[in-house]
Amino acid sequence: MPATFSWAQYTGSSGNSTTPANLASPGLTPTSSAAAMSWDFETADSTGTSSYTANPVSAGSNSWPVWLKGYFSNSVGYTIQNVKFWQFNPASNSANTGTFGIWGAVQTAYSIATGTASGSAYASNVQVPTNASSTASPGSPLVMTGTISSTSGNSLVTQSYLALQLTASSAAPAGTSGYFGFTLQYDEQ
């Protein structure tokens, strides 16, 4: 039986998780319930999609970083490895205009989001590899090394974080940018 995948978003000074309660601080709720999750790039350290209109990313600036991990659960033992991440750009995507970019990096340690600066502590000013397909990995996707496994069917998260930031060029139009698509691909045994 395959493991169930969802995204876990981390925020706050201690890297509080929005994963289900067994991996999170008390009182936090998940922002994901299945293999799909919506989060917004904004100028605040918050989760989900509820506050992006109050915290917009202005033309010529960056969002605060979004910190993510893959969250897996199963009732039987399993192993997850060979985790890859990339952005896919459907041709109809209104955000795919050259005025917006997604920077990203795999990070081993969480660093609280404190502003829109970029660099090695966040997304490293490196664009997330792209492909026109959500199912075919580009030549150099972001790769999360290591293996996570459970012999008793516990819930687990990936060992590394994905740190992502939206960058808006000075020519970026006002208003909502549209959506970006991302794929997290992994091998499971």
pLDDT tens digit sequence for 117-132:
666 667 777 888 888 8
Query: What is residue 83's three-state secondary structure?
Result: strand
pLDDT tens-digit series, residues 47-101: 666 677 788 888 888 888 888 888 888 888 889 999 999 988 755 555 555 678 8
On the question of pLDDT at 141 being above 90, the answer is yes
Per-residue model confidence (pLDDT) at position 28 = 33
- 100-107 vs 156-157, strand pairing mode: unpaired
Over residues 154-172, the mean pLDDT reads: 82
Q: Please list, in sequence order, all residues whose beta carbon lies within 8 angstroms of the beta carbon of residue 137, skipping any fewer than 6 positions away.
A: 84, 86, 131, 183, 185
Calculate the CA 53 to chain-centre distance: 20
pLDDT tens-digit series, residues 7-61: 777 776 555 444 444 444 433 334 454 445 667 788 877 766 667 778 888 888 8
- Domain range list for the chain: 4-188
Contact between 88 and 109 under an 8 Å Cβ cutoff? The reply is: no
Neighbouring-strand partners of residue 130: 87
| Residue with more model confidence, 187 or 161 | 187
- Which pTM was predicted? 0.80
Per-residue model confidence (pLDDT) at position 37 = 63
User: CA 29 to CA 18: how far, in whole Å?
Assistant: 5
Over residues 136-140, the mean pLDDT reads: 88
Per-residue model confidence (pLDDT) at position 21 = 40
Per-residue model confidence (pLDDT) at position 93 = 54
